[in-house]
Every structure is written in C-alpha cells, then in structure tokens.
Amino acid sequence: MSGHQVLDHVDQYLQLGREYECSDIHLPTAFPPTWRRFGQIAPIWDDHPNLTPDDTERLASSFLGPREWARLQDKGDVDFAYANLHGRYRASVVKQRLGYNMVFRVINTKIRSMADIGLPLEHITPLTRYQNGLILVTGSVGSGKSTTLAALVDFINMDREDHILTLEDPIEYVFESKGCHVNQREVHAHTESFGKALRGALREDPDVIMVGEMRDLETIQLALTAAETGHLVLGTLHTGNAPRTLDRVLDVFPVDQREQIRIMVSESLRGVLSQQLVPRLDGGGRVLALELLVNTPAVANCIREGKTFMLPGVMQTGKNVGMITMDESLRQLYIKGIISREDALYRAEDKHQMRDFFRS
C-alpha cells in the first residue's frame, strides 16, 4: 500500500486497529499514523506521510463533541470514553507545540473471564467471596490491570447477589447486571473526582466497590475506610510488586497516622495481584506474569510492623494459598518455554538471583 492519503475520520483508523488486534492507535502531528500491536509500537503503513497540523485538527474535530472540543481549547487536553458502532475506546487528545496528538486505547467490549486471562481460579475465587476488605490489582500502564479488574467484577456479578458500584475514569467495560445489581459511574462525567465519587458511593449502600484508580490520599483513605466498614473494595495502583504496593499505600499518609494505617491495612487487605504482560516467545501476543500476595497471619504481621521488605520471603513459604513472587512467575513461564531468557531477566525484580538461576 503506497502513497497513503490521510483518512477522513478517526473511526477508519480505529476500525483498522480492531481488525489487526491492536491495543492502541496513535495519531500524532508530525509523525505518521502509528499503532501498538502485542506491546510493540510501529507505523501502520511504512510510507505514510507525516500528519500535518491541519490533518490532526480535522481528525480531532471529526470525533470530538462540542463539550470535549471546548475542554480541549480551554485546558489543552481532554480524556474521555469514545464509542462508535464498532466499539469503545479510551481517547486522549493533547494540544502540543506542533498541533494535536491523539491516542486511543482499544477497549475489548467482550469481558474476558478469569480463566481466559490465566488467573489461578482456586486462589483468587476465595478473595472475591469476602464480604469486606481490599483487593489491589497493580502494574505499570498497559499491564492489563483493567482487564483483570473487569474479570474479577464479572465473576462477582455472576457469583453473588449484591450491589456492585464501579467508579471509573473513563468507564471501560460495560457490565450487564447478572446475579448482582451493577451501577457504573464515570469520574468527571458524573462526578468530580474519585474521592468525591467514593464519598457519595458509601451512601448508596453498595456491597462491592470497584475504584478505577487509587492515586491520592483521599481516595486511598476512603477505600480503606470502606473496606473496614463492610464493603469489598477492588482498586488499582501503578506499582510493580506487592511490597512496593503496600509501601505506596502507607507512604501516602502523614507520619503520625502511619501506625494506625498499618494496623488498618493488615486487617482489611485480602490480596494483591501484581502483573506484567510479557511478549510470548512464539510471537503470538503476550502472556500474563502474575505475582499474588494473600493476606495470611504472617503477611499481616509484616505489614503491622512495617517490615514490607520481608514479604518476598513470606510469599515463598505461602505456596499452599497460591502465593507466588513475580520472579517465580517469570521463571515458570521461562521453564515452560513461553517467554525468552532475555525477557525473564529484563523483567525480574532480583536480576542477580535470576542470573544465578540461568547459570545453575
């Protein structure tokens, strides 16, 4: 395909992205249209001319509604859930020096089950059956947190007869009420902030609350309070492993509150799932590497005493409840021939130990 013309509407690029199983589509000024497939960024066409400021302005105005367009002009950026006939997308448009940049995350509207993703059902199902407490799903951007969270909520939706409330920015997966009654609220569209939404949520008598992102003191504090007062709370954090996740939660609080918060977390935490998506050796997409921390008396003790650095050791002795460290998960994927030695080493927490493993 040569001598490409710029398409008239972003929907045409998004349709291509869906056909080729991409996770993201980028339409940046001064670069050709680009996509992310199986974790790799590449131009959609090799010989497409760079998009001009006029091109990106025309493409931006092809899909932004009056409200989004006004926000973009006023604030310089806009993030929202965009839907067309083919599906839903997390759209971000930013005004920069050269022109507009657009990025679309393709949302798979079909919710994948816990088994589809490769979650260990026998160890994660018990976590979802608690009446209260906190389950955290963590990982970097693009590590599949939203997909895992959706699978957990969908399982609870079928497994229980309760009221589920989701607070998201933007709403990604749309849940049909099954056994549960599900309400979804979009932060910014329906409410001002995660903190405000969560405060309001507690008045709506939910049994299960999914908080898209726990990024500030207010949200983390409210999530912990909700978890303590009879709600099962599922949330995400951008942290790489379980010890760092707990440090992140505790470090948000002022020093004089830390001891009390450590006690709260040690009592209300149910589990932490930390994940990465690693390229498969056979080139067929990516595979989930999963670290699982389950709150046992030994884990609770480490948290209460502020000794999170001891958790990896505790996790190695907790295999019977499904505990596994990220490095152990990577080693298993490597032994099964699913991922390469380079990827296992590159993504390992303890690179020294991983090198010893390869030598032995």
Whichever domain contains 86, its CATH number is: 3.30.450.90
What global pTM score does this model have?
0.85
Strand pairing class (232-237; 208-211): parallel
Asked whether residue 200 falls in the same domain as residue 258, the answer is yes
Q: Position of tokens 């493993």?
A: 357
- What does 299-311 look like in DSSP terms, one character per residue? HHHHHHTT-GGGH
Q: Position of tokens 């940046």?
A: 28
Whether residue 142 lies inside any domain: the answer is yes
pLDDT for 284 equals 83
pLDDT for 2 equals 42
Picking from 56, 85, 107, the residue at the C-terminal end of a domain is 107
Whether residue 310 lies inside any domain: the answer is yes
Asked whether residue 159 falls in the same domain as residue 85, the answer is no
Asked whether residue 42 falls in the same domain as residue 128, the answer is no
Q: Rounded to an integer, what distance in angstroms lies between the CA atom of residue 49 and that of residue 68? A: 28
Q: Rounded to an integer, what distance in angstroms lies between the CA atom of residue 57 and that of residue 48? A: 18
Whether residue 237 lies inside any domain: the answer is yes
Whether residue 1 lies inside any domain: the answer is no
pLDDT for 193 equals 81
Q: Rounded to an integer, what distance in angstroms lies between the CA atom of residue 296 and that of residue 219? A: 25
Angle (deg, nearest 10), helices 297-304 and 258-268: 170
- Quick check: 154 and 179 in contact, CB under 8 A? no
Asked whether residue 85 falls in the same domain as residue 149, the answer is no
Cα 227 to the center of its chain, rounded Å: 20
Q: Rounded to an integer, what distance in angstroms lies between the CA atom of residue 70 and that of residue 36? A: 29
Q: Position of tokens 């000794």?
A: 307
pLDDT for 1 equals 39
Whether residue 126 lies inside any domain: the answer is yes
Q: How many Cβ atoms sit within 10 Å of the Cβ of residue 286?
A: 18
Residue ranges of the chain with per-residue pLDDT less than 50: 1-2
Whether residue 4 lies inside any domain: the answer is no
Asked whether residue 101 falls in the same domain as residue 138, the answer is no
Give whole-number Cα distances, 360 to 326, 348, 354, in Å: 19, 17, 10
Q: Rounded to an integer, what distance in angstroms lies between the CA atom of residue 122 and that of residue 2? A: 52
Token digits for 253?
Answer: 């609080």
Picking from 65, 89, 107, the residue at the C-terminal end of a domain is 107
Number of domains in the chain: 2
Strand pairing class (286-294; 269-279): antiparallel
Whether residue 261 lies inside any domain: the answer is yes
Asked whether residue 64 falls in the same domain as residue 128, the answer is no
Token digits for 327?
Answer: 């490095």
Residue 15's domain spans which residues? 10-107
Reference 58, options 10, 115, 3; nearest CA is 10
Picking from 107, 140, 161, the residue at the C-terminal end of a domain is 107
Whether residue 266 lies inside any domain: the answer is yes
Token digits for 320?
Answer: 């019977």
Asked whether residue 273 falls in the same domain as residue 337, the answer is yes
pLDDT for 59 equals 95
